[in-house]
A and B are shown apart, each in its own frame.
Chain A
């Protein structure tokens, strides 16, 4: 595997809008070279779930956004060309209802100009919210990753995004890496509920210690598997915690909703100290 890893600072899936909305807050360097993971794209358009989709809780957010997206065709025709023109390194997050859909998404993305990589969303907090193929079991996740890997050029990264599940993360990371994932993104929203019991996923500072534990556990058990930390990254200290625990990069998500300049500030601060090459 020779795919170069993105980093050290990325925009996490679902928190970067369509990419355009970040431009006013991207700082003097603009969006050029920014590693942005798109919101999860499905083959067909999805309107997303009903409101309220997000609720603030101490230390984070509970969300059930429901993967709103315009579908692959519209994404390729409008959002992707805009992002490519802006100089963004586009990592397309994909979610499918079947194995075949994942393969088709990967196949069509493999020929779309300007796609830097794919992130496979295999750790959605709740199937009720996502309504996509249940792929949290490591075996199923690995099968999906293998299908995507077969369709996508070997010199471009395929990231597998797993939920920070302390008891299953090593197994998940190992199987997905063996199936061809370039790196494991550790840190989707963790299963939670709104105040009325409706299922959702918890993200933000509250999940940082959990995701950090998962990164450290994978590093100890599988030192050859590159990981990308995601969960509660909001400043240099929280980013460094992941990098020092062995992550090759961090993804910034919920913090962008608090301060849309977070990624620009972290890119500037961490650029002077890039993580070691591990690819």
Chain B
């Protein structure tokens, strides 16, 4: 099967509200088969010119309806609100998988995965891939409060150790990723650190990883009006391999980039 993205008509086969999020299960012919952890999908919304991008939380190769994928959405505006109200059976145009996924280590190394809010979604399939390769996986799931913690129970199935952080202390450790990043990286003895979340979370994790001598890969979330690289509307300031500052597209040259390559102060 070719690697490139496809644009297909999918169908909502399940829709569930879990905490502060809406989980949609979609058929999307060709996309689950091509998916790799960290890539994303873009959904077309009727009446809206631009599309909405979502992390893929889970793919199921086999179900009664064929391969499906799950996305997690938080209502942010009229587009996401409309998608959140799609009923089972609704048709939706889906493009994916898009973007560069997480790079996997060749050897069985120690990995720390840090996710904040719904953006933790791509870390679950990543944890599975890493475990298949014999990596030791520690997972940190964080959120402002309990309702915005993504799948903490499921996390316990995917990782050797799980740390839960909430800013309000409603469950798990109290505090933010920035408060705990250095300690978490040190305790995990990670060779590779993966992170997905808002920019401040990614920056804190990338800095902690660099200080500890670990590689970091961060999944940058930017507004991506098209998601396909056509519009050049999601500028991401980076430092190239040659040391030269550049602006690349978060949707095609990202969303996953090396944490030490992001010009955080220019974001």
Using a CB–CB cutoff of 8 Å, the interface residues on chain A facing chain B are 14-18, 21-25, 39, 47-54, 56, 59-61, 63, 65, 68, 204-205, 254, 256-261
- On whether the beta carbons of B235 and A53 are closer than 8 Å, the reply is yes
Q: Could you give, for residues 187-229 of chain B, a 1 whenever the CB lies within 8 Å of some chain A CB and a 0 otherwise?
A: 0000000000000000000000000000000000011011011
Cβ–Cβ < 8 Å partners of A50 in chain B: 235
Name the interface residues of B3-41: CB closer than 8 Å to any CB of A: 4-7
User: Bound state CA distance, A258 and B5, in angstroms?
Assistant: 15
Cβ–Cβ < 8 Å partners of B233 in chain A: 51-54, 63, 65, 257
Interface pairs (11), CB distance under 8 Å = A17-B229, A17-B230, A24-B6, A24-B7, A47-B246, A48-B235, A53-B233, A53-B235, A56-B49, A65-B233, A256-B226
User: Bound state CA distance, A68 and B247, in angstroms?
Assistant: 9
- On whether the beta carbons of A68 and B7 are closer than 8 Å, the reply is no
- On whether the beta carbons of B51 and A47 are closer than 8 Å, the reply is no
- On whether the beta carbons of B228 and A258 are closer than 8 Å, the reply is no
User: Bound state CA distance, A18 and B7, in angstroms?
Assistant: 19
B252 in the interface (beta carbon within 8 A): yes
Cβ–Cβ < 8 Å partners of A24 in chain B: 4-7
- On whether the beta carbons of A260 and B235 are closer than 8 Å, the reply is no
Majority secondary structure, A binding face: loop
Cβ–Cβ < 8 Å partners of A259 in chain B: 7, 44, 93
B50 in the interface (beta carbon within 8 A): yes
User: Bound state CA distance, A100 and B44, in angstroms?
Assistant: 43
Cβ–Cβ < 8 Å partners of A254 in chain B: 49
Q: Given A61-B50, A258-B51, A259-B93: A54 and B6 within 8 A (CB)?
A: no
CB distance from B252 to the nearest CB of A (A): 7
Give the interface size bracket for B toward A. Answer: 20 to 34
User: Bound state CA distance, A180 and B146, in angstroms?
Assistant: 66
B76 in the interface (beta carbon within 8 A): no
Q: Given A25-B7, A47-B246, A258-B51: A61 and B230 within 8 A (CB)?
A: no
User: Bound state CA distance, A15 and B233, in angstroms?
Assistant: 10
Cβ–Cβ < 8 Å partners of B79 in chain A: 56
- On whether the beta carbons of A257 and B232 are closer than 8 Å, the reply is no
Q: Look across to chain B and name the residue whose beta carbon is closest to the beta carbon of A19.
A: B230
Cβ–Cβ < 8 Å partners of A59 in chain B: 49
Top-7 shortest CB links A-B: A257-B226, A21-B229, A54-B233, A24-B4, A47-B247, A17-B230, A54-B225
Q: Given A56-B49, A60-B49, A257-B226: A48 and B4 within 8 A (CB)?
A: no
User: Bound state CA distance, A256 and B232, in angstroms?
Assistant: 12
Cβ–Cβ < 8 Å partners of B64 in chain A: none
User: Bound state CA distance, A259 and B225, in angstroms?
Assistant: 11
User: Bound state CA distance, A52 and B250, in angstroms?
Assistant: 12
Q: Given A21-B230, A68-B235, A259-B44: A54 and B50 within 8 A (CB)?
A: yes
Q: Given A56-B48, A204-B49, A259-B44: A51 and B230 within 8 A (CB)?
A: no
CB distance from A20 to the nearest CB of B (A): 8
Q: Look across to chain A and name the residue whose beta carbon is closest to the beta carbon of B5.
A: A24
Among B48, B79, B231, the one with the most A-chain Cβ atoms within 10 Å of its Cβ is B231
Cβ–Cβ < 8 Å partners of B247 in chain A: 47-48, 68
B234 in the interface (beta carbon within 8 A): yes
Among B7, B48, B222, the one with the most A-chain Cβ atoms within 10 Å of its Cβ is B7
